[in-house]
Amino acid sequence: MKMKLMLLFMAVALILVAGCDKGYVDEQIAAMQAKVEADINEVKAKADTNADEINKAKTMITEASKKADMALEEAKGFENYQVIWEGVVNFDFDSYTLNQMAMDNLSGLGQKMTDYPKSLLEIAGHTDKTGAASYNVTLGMKRAEAVKVYLTDQYGVSLYRMFTVSHGEEKPVAMPDEKNANAQNRRVVLKLWGKL
């Protein structure tokens, strides 16, 4: 009899434990399902964001392509172009900031570009030999870009009409033994190309 009672007690205990385990398992499954659903929603949100960014990038590419096509159309017949104006803008040591004299020189150019709407401008940045060659190439480009930005901001010249290049220290206008050679070499050379 003791044995039957003990077996009965164990059976009841197993039923109770099994019932508790089922509730615990159900809670764990519910928690995992909630986490998985949250992760899925997060991935969907990221996918939507990525899709928006891809669409924006496609739009930008389309616009850039149209501008490039316009520039190519403008450049057709470039072999018939010739230099119709040349100028130089000088810079202070280790600087790409336009000074007042440079801005005054550029005012005439801005007007010429308005007078010749099909013209194209070559902007070549130069430096003296002070410093590393790689730094000078970068500085020359910053000088050329400063001129480009100024002409766009002040005179509304379209960016596709201007082309920048940097020669760094490679094409000096004055040799080191000449007076003020470094000052002469810190410059941007401008060439306005157009049909006469």
Residue 106: exposed, middle, or buried by beta-carbon count in 10 A (0-12, 13-18, 19+)?
Answer: buried
Residue with tokens 């928690």: 31
Cα–Cα distance between 114 and 161 in angstroms, integer? 11
* pLDDT score for 10: 63
Lowest mean pLDDT among 54-63, 146-155, 162-171, 177-186: 177-186
DSSP string, 64-91: HHHHHHHHHHHHTTGGG-EEEEEEEEE-
Give the global pTM. Answer: 0.58
How would residue 2 be classed by pLDDT, with cut points 50, 70 and 90?
A: low
Cα–Cα distance between 65 and 88 in angstroms, integer? 32
CATH, range 78-194: 3.30.1330.60
pLDDT digits (tens, 9 = 90+) for 118-143: 889 999 999 888 888 889 899 999 99
Bridge partners, residue 125, by sequence = 166, 188
Domain ranges of the chain: 28-76, 78-194
Backbone angles phi, psi at 122, to 5 degrees: -95, 125
* pLDDT score for 143: 93
pLDDT digits (tens, 9 = 90+) for 38-77: 878 888 888 888 888 888 888 888 887 887 777 777 666 6
